[in-house]
Amino acid sequence: NAGVTQTPKFQVLKTGQSMTLQCAQDMNHNSMYWYRQDPGMGLRLIYYSASEGTTDKGEVPNGYNVSRLNKREFSLRLESAAPSQTSVYFCATQGAGGFGDTQYFGPGTRLTVL
Amino acid sequence: DAKTTQPPSMDCAEGRAANLPCNHSTISGNEYVYWYRQIHSQGPQYIIHGLKNNETNEMASLIITEDRKSSTLILPHATLRDTAVYYCIVNNAGNNRKLIWGLGTSLAVNP
């Protein structure tokens, strides 16, 4: 099992360009999350999806849109990238049951906006 | 959600126990204590969680005080690969299950 995968691993954009970060999971989890992490900071929640077909804003949603395409996939779109969006982006999934609310993270996408 | 307080950094000698403290004095009765770690710039990794009893797994032990206002994560025999940022988080499993991440403790395991 691959767990949580993210593409691309690295990306450089110019201000104003758009892109979509992809996340896929094979853990059959209902909940999926997008976080960003700036240097020396903790993770901040951008958007999350409690189940297929639903999405909700997190702490820092401005400048982003998301799509929960199906149970496996949750994408994050930057419509017009800004230098303030330079960050590392992590996707996570969350199951239920025996492990409580454990979250499982992907390897991250390192985005630089020039 | 309750907030946590952790020391910004700690050192530990390789092979010795690493004891990482966390203060969560405003924790409520239905909130769990979770520990994650982040090695280099990888995605965070779950370590352990507990409600009020002490817990142990293959990675670590979690000691929660009787009043639940603080806890300690114990890595019994720290190795160089345990060098990471350790995050203590409290969360109510009954709500939307969002986790609030602080700055964590940067643990350096020295040879």
What three-state secondary structure class fits A84? helix
How far is A3 from A106, CA to CA, in rounded Å? 8
Chain A CB contacts of B45 below 8 Å: 105
Kindly report, residue by residue over B14-32, the tens digit of the pLDDT: 999 999 999 999 888 888 8
How far is B28 from B51, CA to CA, in rounded Å? 10
pLDDT confidence bin for A98, thresholds 50/70/90? very low
Kindly report, residue by residue over B65-111, the tens digit of the pLDDT: 999 999 999 999 999 999 999 999 988 765 555 677 888 999 999 99
Kindly report, residue by residue over A9-18, the tens digit of the pLDDT: 999 999 999 9
Cβ–Cβ contact A92 with B under 8 A = yes
Q: How far is C-alpha B8 from the chain's CA centre?
A: 13
If one compares B56 and B41, the residue with the highest pLDDT of the two is B56
Judged by CB atoms closer than 8 Å, whether chains meet at A48 and B96 is answered as yes
pLDDT of residue A109: 97
Nearest chain A Cα distance for residue B42, angstroms: 6
pLDDT of residue B1: 53
pLDDT of residue A1: 64
pLDDT of residue A40: 79
Mean pLDDT (chain A, rounded): 91
Residue type, A5: T
Nearest chain A Cα distance for residue B13, angstroms: 24
Burial letters A41-55, b for 16+ CB under 10 A, else e: ebbebbbbbbeeeeb
Do residues B86 and B104 touch, judged by C-beta distance below 8 A?
A: yes
Cβ–Cβ contact A63 with B under 8 A = no
pLDDT of residue A64: 97
Cβ–Cβ contact B41 with A under 8 A = yes
Residue of B nearest to A92 (CA): B43
Judged by CB atoms closer than 8 Å, whether chains meet at B49 and A102 is answered as yes
Judged by CB atoms closer than 8 Å, whether chains meet at A31 and B97 is answered as yes
Q: What is the mean pLDDT of residues A19-45?
A: 92
pLDDT of residue A51: 86
Contacts A–B by Cβ distance under 8 A: 59
pLDDT of residue A36: 96
Judged by CB atoms closer than 8 Å, whether chains meet at B87 and A42 is answered as yes
Nearest chain B Cα distance for residue A17, angstroms: 25
Cβ–Cβ contact B45 with A under 8 A = yes
pLDDT of residue B18: 97
Q: What is the mean pLDDT of residues A77-100?
A: 85
Residue of A nearest to B97 (CA): A101
Whether residue A66 is predicted with pLDDT greater than 50 in this model: the reply is yes
pLDDT of residue A2: 73
Instruction: Give the C-alpha distances (Å, rounded to integers) separating A23 from A1, A74, A106, B9.
Output: 15, 5, 8, 32
What stretch of H or E contains A12? strand A10-13
Chain B CB contacts of A110 below 8 Å: 41
